[in-house]
Amino acid sequence: MKTSPLLKIAQIVLQTAMVGLIASLPGRAAETKKPLKVGFAQTGAESDWRTANSESMKSEAAKRGVDFKFSDGQGKQENQIRAVRSFIAQGVDVILLSPLVETGWEPVLREAKKAKIPVILSDRSIQTSDDSLYVTFVGSDFYEEGRMAADWLGKFTGGKGNIVELQGTPGSAPANERRKSFGDALKKYPGLTIIDSQSGNFEMSGGKQVMEAFLKKHGRNFSIVYAHNDSMAHGAVQAIEEAGLKPGKDITIVCIDALRPAVQAVVDGKINCVVECNPLFGPVVFDTAAKILAGEKVPKKILNKDELIDATNAAKLLPTRKY
C-alpha cells in the first residue's frame, strides 16, 4: 500500500521530535549503559590447564555480558605484546594479561598506564621494579606449590632418591618459582638429589620427549619424576610405560595442576601425588575488574587456595572435580 506524501511528512516530523526529546532528557547517557570492554592476552594453549583457564574466563565474560576480546598468544611474547597494544587502541576498560615469561613487559605496560587502562595480571606474575604498571595479580602461589611437592616427596620416600625434573616454559613464573621452591625445600632432605632437569615446555609431547631422553641417558639411576605440570607428567607416564616400567611404582611421579585426568591417574596408581593449581578463577578476575572500575581498592595479590592430592584423598575428591 502506498503512503500519502502528507502522512510521510507527518511521520518524519514526529520521529525528529521524539529523537530531540530523548536526547534532551537529563542523565540519558548514564542510563544506556555500554557493556564492559575487556581484553585478555592469554599465553596460548600449551596444556589442558590453559584450556580450562581460557574457558573459565570466556564463560564468565559471557555470563556477565562483557564485550570480551580474547587473544591466544600461541606461546609467543611478541604476540601477547601486540594483543595488549591492540586492546589499548580499541579503548578497552580493563586489560587482563597472563604473561608467558616474567620479563620484558615494562614498555607495553607503560603504554597501558598512559592510556589509563588498568591491567590485571592473571595466573602469572612479572618481574618489574615498577609495581604501578599493574593493579593486581590473581592466581596461585607457585612457590608454595613446589614446596608442597618437595615436602610430600620427603615424607613419601623417607628422604631418599634421585630425581629428574621436567620444567615448564623457560623464563615463566611457574617454572621459575616451582623450581626454586622445590630446590629450597629439598635442602631439608639431603638424601633427595635432582640429577637432571630439562624443559618440556608445559606440553605433554615435551614431557614425553624429555622423559625418553632421561631414561636413555640415566637408565634406572633415578626413581622419582618431578613435573611442573600435569600435561608433562602424562607424557612421562607414556614414556615410562613404553620403556617397560611401571609409573607410580618403579618410578614415583609428583606433579602440579590436578586436573581430573591426573587425579584419575592418582586413583589408578600411575601418578603418586599432584598439587593443585586451580585454573577456574574467571569469576574472581571479573569481580576484581568490577571493583577496580568502581574505584575500590583491591589487594596487590589475590591468591587461590590449592590443595594436595595423593592416594589418601584422590578417590574421594575425583567425583567432585570440576576441571
CA distances (Å), 218 to each of 38, 45, 272, 301, in order? Answer: 49, 31, 21, 41
- Amino acid identity of 170? P
Amino acid at position 9, single letter? I
Residue of 256, 258, 263, 271 that binds ligand AHR (CB under 6 A): 256
| Closest CA relative to residue 145, chosen from 304, 251, 265, 299 | 304
Contact pattern for ligand AHR over residues 258 through 287, marking x by CB under 6 A: -------------------x----------
Give which of 139, 142, 174 is closest to 302, Cα–Cα. 139
Dist. CA 135–CA 117, nearest whole Å: 10
Among 232, 140, 152, smallest CA distance to 189 is for: 152
Tell me the closest approach of the beta carbon of residue 48 to ligand AHR, in angstroms: 7
Verify binding: residue 56, ligand AHR, rule CB under 6 A: no
Q: Is 8 exposed, middle or buried (0-12, 13-18, 19+ CB in 10 A)?
A: exposed
**Binder among 36, 38, 49, 122 for ligand AHR (CB under 6 A):** 49
Q: Which residue is nearest to ligand AHR (CB)?
A: 49
Among 77, 181, 229, 252, binds ligand AHR (CB under 6 A): 229
Q: Which three cell numbers stand for residue 127?
A: 618481574
From the list 38, 46, 157, 252, which residue makes contact with ligand AHR (rule: CB under 6 A)?
A: 46
For ligand AHR, the closer of residues 80 and 161 by Cβ is: 80
Instruction: Give, as ranges, the residues between 117 and 176 that touch ligand AHR (CB under 6 A).
Output: 123-124, 174
- 181 sits near ligand AHR (criterion: CB under 6 A): no
What are the residues binding ligand AHR (CB under 6 A)?
46-47, 49-50, 123-124, 174, 202, 229, 231, 256-257, 277
